């Protein structure tokens, strides 16, 4: 039991009591407050008198305060069960984005910022960084263009792009498609999965409905023995959002036009200028080199998997229908089969040792030990006691939510750190993947006190049933650990300004801290510590397990057996080349569409064909195109939320970040992953800094040298 003082944090959690009406009213109030502040600064400060304290500091404080409400307003569209509230959240985000664009193109404010910038007053490092970035942002937002048609067009494009990206994301979140399959067509898919499928009536009587949500879709691709079922699931999922086809096209064309208006050769050059890579050539060279290194391994892996497919067809008397191809919808199925046959690895069996609740507790314990933290779950009456409204239900947006207050451990001073929320199961209208959302940023108030951050993990793990808790496949354990890593980054960051808080770092570094933490999910001692067989959690679960396993089955060990751990760890790099070639498909497609040689080329892009052809050229995974359908068979780009959600000309960061994450892990943690001294050093030198200093300086400070790719290439067997 945690001490009583842990229960009463010095800062109350936020309220999630927004209505469609209040969301719109609050948005307009916040916009007007910020506009009035800018007007006042312009009215009161002459360019010759402009300083950081007079111009940028008031706006920074306004940004800090505004984030306490705007993040929640925008969050509702990803988690609310109320369609009207989700719609209002989307509309509010459009208003906020429109205002942000107008604000970023105010020449009168820019002149004051430029004057303060040129003065060269001595500032602390974070304030200097804010001044430099703000000044550059005005130029990148079109104020380097002369007033007139070009600048007006740029502003028009920015507003249109904002609207398009919001609608694209809303379409993704609210997609409700699915396929009715017979039980025979779903043969092989675990009952744990199909028991949660909607049961058909009328013309669909006797059928089960697979939705395109991850807990339905991925197990179907992995386990359905009927290749026709897998093919239909894959192709229909790829084509589930036809309304996003024209949106994606318009976005790519407008981005190119906007970059050229500012004098850049293309959108990639505009975006990457501010990243660690600095130039598209650096990115293209990195991706090209990695592709060259991986290609031979990928071909070898496909040959092995194709041979396995041929053998399986033969054993099932299906030789006549084997065409020698290895399709996109084959990959999850045969990858799983290989792990089971060649490595004695049954993912469903291993999942029995990773119930969601105990896995979370185990992960939080790891973070407590490493980083000097304490997590206290807030339940029942304790929620009411800290709720500003006195109602515990008001501090969550859904009954599924868990809330934790987070504290420093005694050796770190026992101070309050912030709040962590977990929203882990799928529901209609909810964000469909796994992500960390900042709910309220951390910063220093104008009076010198600290506002503590609030962060949320939004995931889509399978729901518990009466016979079993929610069980995590190992890849889901890794996903949860990764997203929790982003959450910890968000929580322990300590910056003056919310602009630099937590994961507000450059895109080609942001994944590195979480990717580094994934290594703990492959460390035998930590797998043992995280594991806890579900049958030992309650008499009901034990009875259900016995019913399934048989009366004569021996009682499972409470912790994951060493033999299974050994088998699991051996699979870390199985089919790794193919996995990373798939990542290269996404990264190279992203760069290709954002690096046209001319605007006319961008306008002429056949994006669906490009997406599928680039994918085949890189991975050699067959698709309908290899059997005569043409490369326009699917629209995979329409579900690629990253490219319209901030990762444009930035998806390469998932691969380049691994260079940094592998370097940090193997240099500092590999020998002793639970070294609390190094963990605390990492917390304070890397995570705490957020984006308040140059990310390369952060890395060099922690490593004691320039980062390099040696560990990354060794990990992939390419050194």
- The residues annotated as belonging to the active site are 483
What are the C-alpha distances in Å from 347 to residues 224, 262, 354, 471, 568?
15, 51, 11, 11, 9
Number of H helices, E strands in the chain: 29, 10
Is the dihedral angle over the CA atoms 256, 259, 265, 269 positive or is it negative? negative
What are the C-alpha distances in Å from 426 to residues 226, 339, 434, 641?
26, 28, 10, 18
CB 110 within 8 Å of CB 132: no
C-alpha radius of gyration, the chain, whole number:
26
Q: In whole angstroms, what is the distance from residue 318 CA to residue 344 CA? A: 25
CB 597 within 8 Å of CB 310: no
What are the C-alpha distances in Å from 135 to residues 49, 59, 216?
17, 13, 48
User: H-helix or E-strand containing 566?
Assistant: helix 562-570
Rounded to 5 degrees, φ, ψ at 521 are -80, -5
Side-chain-side CA neighbours of residue 455 (13 Å): 25
Q: Does residue 377 sit in helix, strand or coil?
A: strand
Q: In whole angstroms, what is the distance from residue 696 CA to residue 512 CA? A: 12
Q: 120: buried, middle or exposed (CB in 10 Å: 19+, 13-18, 0-12)? A: exposed
Long-range contacts of 376-383 (CB under 8 A, 24+ apart): 376/2, 376/6, 376/7, 376/404, 376/405, 376/406, 376/407, 377/402, 377/403, 377/404, 378/7, 378/403, 378/404, 378/405, 382/7
What is the secondary structure of 141-170 as a DSSP string? IIITSPTTHHHHHHHHHHHHHHHHHHHHHH
Helix axis angle for 83-104 and 149-173, nearest 10°, is 160
- Spatial CB neighbours of 634, under 8 Å, sequence gap ≥ 6: 235, 238, 239, 608, 611, 612, 623, 624
CB 345 within 8 Å of CB 567: yes
Q: In whole angstroms, what is the distance from residue 172 CA to residue 178 CA? A: 14
Pair of tokens at residue 634: 């699917």
What are the C-alpha distances in Å from 367 to residues 370, 440, 441, 691?
5, 21, 20, 21
């Amino acid at each position: 039991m945690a001490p009583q003082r842990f229960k009463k944090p010095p800062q109350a959690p936020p309220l999630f009591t927004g209505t469609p009406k209040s969301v719109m009213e609050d948005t307009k109030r916040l916009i007007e407050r910020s506009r009035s502040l800018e007007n006042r600064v312009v009215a009161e400060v002459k360019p010759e008198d402009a300083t950081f304290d007079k111009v940028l500091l008031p706006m920074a404080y306004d940004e800090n305060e505004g984030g306490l409400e705007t993040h929640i307003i925008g969050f509702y569209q990803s988690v609310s069960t109320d369609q009207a509230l989700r719609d209002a959240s989307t509309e509010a985000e459009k208003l906020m984005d429109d205002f942000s664009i107008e604000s970023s193109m105010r020449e009168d404010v820019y002149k004051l910022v430029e004057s303060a910038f040129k003065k060269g007053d001595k500032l602390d490092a974070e304030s200097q960084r804010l001044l430099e970035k703000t000044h550059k942002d005005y130029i990148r937002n079109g104020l380097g263009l002369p007033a007139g048609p070009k600048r007006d067009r740029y502003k028009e494009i920015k507003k249109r792009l904002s609207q398009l990206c919001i609608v694209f994301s809303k379409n993704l979140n609210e997609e409700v498609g699915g396929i009715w399959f017979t039980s025979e067509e779903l043969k092989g898919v675990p009952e744990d999965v199909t028991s949660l499928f909607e049961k058909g009536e009328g013309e669909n009587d006797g059928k089960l409905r697979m939705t395109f949500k991850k807990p339905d879709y991925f197990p179907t691709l992995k386990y359905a023995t009927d290749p026709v079922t897998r093919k239909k699931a894959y192709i229909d999922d790829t084509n589930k959002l036809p309304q996003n086809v024209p949106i994606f096209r318009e976005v790519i064309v407008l981005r190119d036009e906007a970059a050229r208006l500012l004098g850049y050769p293309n959108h990639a050059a505009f975006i990457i200028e501010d990243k660690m890579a600095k130039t598209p050539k650096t990115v293209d060279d990195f991706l090209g080199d990695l592709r060259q290194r991986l290609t031979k391994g990928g071909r070898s892996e496909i040959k092995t998997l194709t041979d396995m497919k041929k053998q399986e067809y033969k054993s099932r008397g299906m030789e006549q229908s084997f065409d020698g191809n290895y399709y996109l919808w084959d990959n999850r199925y045969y990858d799983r089969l290989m792990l089971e046959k060649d490595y004695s690895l049954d993912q469903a069996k291993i999942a029995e040792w990773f119930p969601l609740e105990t896995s979370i507790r185990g992960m939080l314990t790891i973070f407590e030990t490493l980083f000097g933290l304490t997590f206290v779950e807030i339940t029942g009456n304790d929620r009411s006691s800290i709720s500003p409204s006195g109602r515990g239900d008001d501090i969550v947006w859904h009954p599924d939510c868990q809330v934790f207050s987070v504290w420093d451990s005694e050796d770190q001073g026992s101070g309050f750190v912030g709040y962590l929320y977990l929203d882990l199961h799928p529901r209609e209208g909810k964000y469909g993947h796994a992500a960390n959302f900042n709910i309220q940023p951390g910063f220093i108030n104008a009076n010198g006190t600290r506002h503590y951050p609030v962060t949320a993990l939004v995931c889509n793990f399978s729901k518990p049933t009466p016979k079993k808790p929610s069980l995590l496949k190992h890849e889901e354990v890794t996903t949860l650990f990764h997203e929790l890593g982003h959450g910890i980054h968000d929580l322990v960051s300590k910056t003056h300004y919310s602009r630099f808080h937590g994961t507000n770092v450059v895109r080609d570094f942001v994944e590195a801290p979480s990717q580094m933490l994934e290594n703990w999910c492959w460390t035998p001692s930590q797998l043992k510590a995280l594991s806890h067989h579900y049958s030992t959690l309650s008499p009901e679960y034990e009875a259900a397990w016995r019913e399934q396993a048989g009366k004569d089955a021996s009682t499972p060990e409470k912790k994951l057996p060493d033999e299974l751990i050994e088998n699991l760890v051996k699979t870390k790099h199985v089919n790794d080349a193919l996995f990373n070639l798939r990542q290269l498909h996404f990264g190279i497609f992203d760069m290709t569409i954002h690096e046209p040689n001319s605007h006319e080329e961008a306008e002429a892009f056949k994006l669906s064909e490009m997406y599928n052809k680039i994918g085949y050229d890189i991975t050699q995974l067959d698709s309908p195109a290899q059997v005569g359908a043409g490369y326009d068979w699917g629209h995979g780009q329409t579900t690629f939320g990253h490219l319209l959600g901030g990762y444009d000309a930035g998806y390469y960061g998932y691969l380049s970040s691994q260079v940094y994450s592998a370097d940090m892990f193997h240099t500092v943690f590999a020998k002793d992953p639970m070294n609390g001294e190094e963990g605390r050093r990492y917390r304070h030198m890397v995570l705490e800094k957020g984006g308040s200093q140059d990310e390369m300086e952060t890395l060099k400070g922690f490593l004691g040298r320039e980062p390099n790719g040696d560990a990354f290439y060794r990990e992939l067997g390419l050194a």
